[in-house]
Chains A and B, each alone.
Chain A
Amino acid sequence: MSQKDRTERLLNLLFALMASSRPVPKHVLKDAIDAYRESTSDEAFERMFERDKDELRSMGVPVETVEGSDGIGGIEGYRVAADDYALPAVDFTADELAVLGLAARVWEQASLGPAAQRAMRKLETLGDGSVVDGPVGIETRIATAEPSFPVLLEALRARRRVRFSYRKPEDPAPEPREVEPYGVASRRGHWYLIGRDTNRDAMRVFRLSRVVGAASVVGAAGVYDIPAGLDLGGAIASSSAGRVGALTARLRVAVGRGNGLRRRAISVDPVGDGDVVVLTYSDDEALAAEIVGHGAAVVVLEPASLRDAVVRRLRSAAGISAVTS
């Protein structure tokens, strides 16, 4: 069966399902569509029909299965209601379509790019028909090369679980995970899945680049709720540094240097041939890494814990091994 024949068969099935407001029984569909009528056996027809129905549904066509009213649980037939099928009529102004075009470009060369283009072709039919150029002087890009993206979006829509193989950074062997997705979030170019890990019965954050192979949707729809008030951005930010700190550091910074530190400073006071810079922070190791990058231009005055972290890192960079007893 060629792709052309299969496309034609799917299209004819769709027309048949939309042609009547009443459910269409399976035997009627078999008679109505050439490829079904000419199938070699009943089993071959059944297989073809089931596959086609699934294919239409996976594209988002709302194929309804209507139960019979005879009380014995049989299926009366199938239908596609025109109002469920079609995009609701919304009038976009030319300016709004232009800004939508700008939005579609955000995913250019990313895995959501083709989806954004398909959406645009649909929305353009709702405007006044004119195709306008987007605004100039602004461009936004978000990278997604994550093959699991469409699967995660479908899981979020249907509230279904996903299953995937996940590799932790320090453990080369991937492990199977089953997760109820609460959301996906991107920060500084990386994508994360936030959800309840069903085996660990706890919320976890997964980095999508560490998912091995493709994720798949499993189980029934509507099996979980997303906790009310969940802050996805907060969930991933709290797993990394960058929060407002409760600790205070005093640093001696050479003139004209340590500009990133100076920007966050509470105070900068000239002392001798440099400045004393005071700032708040939350994590000794994170700030120490930044300070060490400035070499001799930034020296920690206090606290001792930060000073020790910096000295340890400098010794490591100088190739002086830690003293072992």
Chain B
Amino acid sequence: MSTRPAPEPAATRLSRLLALVPWLSANAGITVDEAAAHFGITAEQLQADLWLLICTGRPGHMHGDLVDIQFWDDDGRITVIDAQTLDRPLRLSPDEAASLLVALRVLAQVPGPHDRAALAGATTKLEAAAGEALRAADGVTVAVDTTHDPMVTEAVSRGLGEGRRLHITYVGAVDERTERDVDPMRALTLDGRAYLEAWCRRAEAVRTFRLDRIEAVEVLDLPAEVPSDAVPVDLGAGALRPDGPPVTLELAAEVSWVAEENPVESVTELADGRLRVVMPVADERWFVRLLLRMGDSITVLDRPDIVERVRAEALRALAAYDV
């Protein structure tokens, strides 16, 4: 790293030190490199932490009062000899307890081949261990979309669990019904919405399918064959975000939510409360539908061809009404 990062706050470092001692005790003989990787820090940082720890202890700081950790042997292994009173980790803080409990409760509601018994066991034990922090976790709810057909959920979980090919009837975002054979890879739930990630044999590519748009599914008597070079969706970088040429729009204040619901490249606030937004448009058919829905509360600044398509479609639809 070329630039020196800002020093972490003392509380952050102290939290790590308090977690480090019991963890090292439970993982006797682990190496400096392994432990550093597990805590997401460099080996140098870990060694500095250990040096600091062995200078602290009960008042008096006589022999037998200090934390004693051995970590300077050539094999790089760490041995905790005396943890003093730090042999157990500090109880969970509200955000620590909430992060895991809320996630466990969400996992209990989402489709997938995960071990439901282990999930229930972990939840019960963690609730017992959380103490007062449980009150923070109980105040957090994540709504999981359950508009998909339970039969679809069941078949998808079975395809994943048993490694079998699925035949699905799917309606995409632009209202096209297709039938395809897919080899399931993962059950994904992103911000409460459930998807199947699969190798699509029709597209010969990795595709994600919203479960609520799968109209029918059949578990085939064939093994799933996902090519070894199939790349799973990167869930980190704005997962499932469409990419496409940018279009510049102006949104009236009452439809400012369009800029919150959709990925945008930039948002500029104009004097009258309107927003100027640059939005990537991956699929023009999807975009025409959005513009039809929003009417004159959206103005497209740089794509007269799209504006004309929207106008023509609206006039064609109006012709069906006697107005």
**CB-CB contacts below 8 Å: B241-300 with A:** 253-254, 256-257, 260, 269, 273, 288-297
Write out the residue numbers on chain B whose beta carbons fall within 8 Å of the beta carbon of A82.
Answer: 85, 88
Write out the residue numbers on chain B whose beta carbons fall within 8 Å of the beta carbon of A182.
Answer: 139
In the complex the two chains form, is B121's CB within 8 Å of A86's CB? no
Interface: B2 (CB within 8 A): no
In the complex the two chains form, is B191's CB within 8 Å of A319's CB? no
Write out the residue numbers on chain A whose beta carbons fall within 8 Å of the beta carbon of B17.
Answer: 7, 11
Nearest residue (CB) in A for B238 is A143
Q: Which of B19-27, B70-78, B199-207 sits within the interface?
A: B19-27
Given contacts A185-B141, A189-B192, contact A157 B96 (CB under 8 A): no
Interface: A72 (CB within 8 A): no
CA A315 – CA B88 in complex, angstroms? 69
In the complex the two chains form, is B90's CB within 8 Å of A172's CB? no
CA A184 – CA B8 in complex, angstroms? 29
Write out the residue numbers on chain A whose beta carbons fall within 8 Å of the beta carbon of B138.
Answer: 156
Interface: A47 (CB within 8 A): no
Interface: A183 (CB within 8 A): yes
Write out the residue numbers on chain A whose beta carbons fall within 8 Å of the beta carbon of B133.
Answer: 157
Instruction: Out of B99, B107, B311, name the residue touching A107 (CB < 8 Å).
Output: B99
In the complex the two chains form, is A153's CB within 8 Å of B136's CB? yes
**CB-CB contacts below 8 Å: A120-156 with B:** 120-127, 129, 131, 135-143, 149-150, 153-154, 156
Interface: B180 (CB within 8 A): no
In the complex the two chains form, is B321's CB within 8 Å of A290's CB? no
In the complex the two chains form, is B121's CB within 8 Å of A96's CB? yes
**CB-CB contacts below 8 Å: A165-202 with B:** 169-170, 172, 181-190
Interface: B160 (CB within 8 A): yes
In the complex the two chains form, is B96's CB within 8 Å of A119's CB? yes
Interface: B151 (CB within 8 A): no
CA A88 – CA B292 in complex, angstroms? 58
Interface: A227 (CB within 8 A): no
In the complex the two chains form, is A141's CB within 8 Å of B189's CB? yes
Write out the residue numbers on chain B whose beta carbons fall within 8 Å of the beta carbon of A75.
Answer: none
In the complex the two chains form, is B96's CB within 8 Å of A122's CB? yes
Instruction: Out of B9, B52, B93, B257, name the residue touching A4 (CB < 8 Å).
Output: B52
Interface: B1 (CB within 8 A): no
CA A6 – CA B9 in complex, angstroms? 10
Q: Which of A63-71, A232-240, A265-273, A276-284 sits within the interface?
A: A232-240
Write out the residue numbers on chain A whose beta carbons fall within 8 Å of the beta carbon of B193.
Answer: 188
CA A90 – CA B131 in complex, angstroms? 12
In the complex the two chains form, is A115's CB within 8 Å of B96's CB? yes
Nearest residue (CB) in A for B195 is A139
Instruction: Out of B125, B175, B260, name the residue touching A259 (CB < 8 Å).
Output: B175
Interface: A25 (CB within 8 A): no
In the complex the two chains form, is A150's CB within 8 Å of B95's CB? yes
Interface: B211 (CB within 8 A): no
CA A109 – CA B93 in complex, angstroms? 20
In the complex the two chains form, is A32's CB within 8 Å of B106's CB? no
Interface: B55 (CB within 8 A): yes
Instruction: Out of A109, A129, A169, A237, name the residue touching B253 (CB < 8 Å).
Output: A169
Could you list some 8 contacts between A and B, CB below 8 A?
A11-B14, A87-B89, A87-B91, A88-B131, A112-B99, A157-B94, A186-B142, A263-B215
Closest 5 CB pairs of A and B: A316-B295, A138-B112, A32-B59, A189-B191, A103-B103
